[in-house]
């Protein structure tokens, strides 16, 4: 699967090749291969930022050994666009509740009938 994700660092437009995750309880930053899906508590990094990462004093960095795999380049622009749309449309958030029916805003099963005289 081709990655269309970019580096999480502000202003960097390079493609992501690594994922940074923090283990706060161990005071450790883990830089590993790019995760298959973007996670809310991890950061995608390009190769330059993955290799230059520094951490606060007292913290450790655990890095992936070897080279990071670069995303495959696709000659088919339509395929790349479809993958970007799929990535943007992932259901990362809770579904939106449906709109209430009727003028009162209630979705009840009762309705008003004309009275008998």
Residue with tokens 């696709």: 74
Entry pTM:
0.56
* pLDDT the model gives residue 78: 56
Residues 6+ apart with CB under 8 A from 84: 4
Q: Are 84 and 4 in contact (CB under 8 A)?
A: yes
Number of domains in the chain: 1
Q: How far apart are CA 43 and CA 72, in angstroms?
A: 20
* pLDDT the model gives residue 3: 45
Distance of alpha carbon 95 from the chain centroid: 17
Round the average pLDDT of the chain to a whole number and report it.
76
pLDDT of 61-116, one tens digit each? 998 777 777 666 555 555 665 666 666 666 664 555 565 555 555 555 566 677 77
Q: Is 104 within the bounds of a domain?
A: no
Q: Is 48 within the bounds of a domain?
A: yes
Q: How far apart are CA 12 and CA 51, in angstroms?
A: 14
Residue-number span of the structural domain to which 1 is assigned: 1-68
Q: Is 16 within the bounds of a domain?
A: yes
SS3 26: helix
Q: Is 90 within the bounds of a domain?
A: no
Q: Is 60 within the bounds of a domain?
A: yes
Task: Provide the residue count of the chain.
Answer: 117
Partners of 18 in beta bridges: 33, 45
Would the pLDDT of 44 be above 90? Answer: yes
Q: Is 112 within the bounds of a domain?
A: no
* pLDDT the model gives residue 36: 82
Q: Is 23 within the bounds of a domain?
A: yes
Q: Is 32 within the bounds of a domain?
A: yes
Among 9-13, 20-24, 80-84, 99-103, the least confident range:
99-103
Q: Are 60 and 28 in contact (CB under 8 A)?
A: yes
């Amino acid at each position: 699967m081709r990655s269309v994700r970019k580096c999480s660092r502000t202003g960097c437009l390079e493609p992501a090749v690594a994922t940074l995750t923090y283990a706060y309880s161990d005071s450790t930053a883990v830089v590993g291969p790019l995760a298959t899906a973007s996670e809310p508590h991890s950061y995608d990094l390009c190769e330059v930022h993955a290799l230059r990462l520094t951490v606060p004093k007292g913290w450790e960095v655990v890095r992936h050994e070897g080279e990071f795999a670069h995303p495959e380049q696709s000659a088919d622009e339509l395929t790349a666009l479809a993958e970007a749309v799929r990535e943007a449309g992932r259901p990362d958030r809770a579904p939106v509740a449906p709109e209430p029916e009727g003028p009162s805003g209630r979705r009840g099963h009762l309705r008003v009938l004309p009275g008998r005289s």
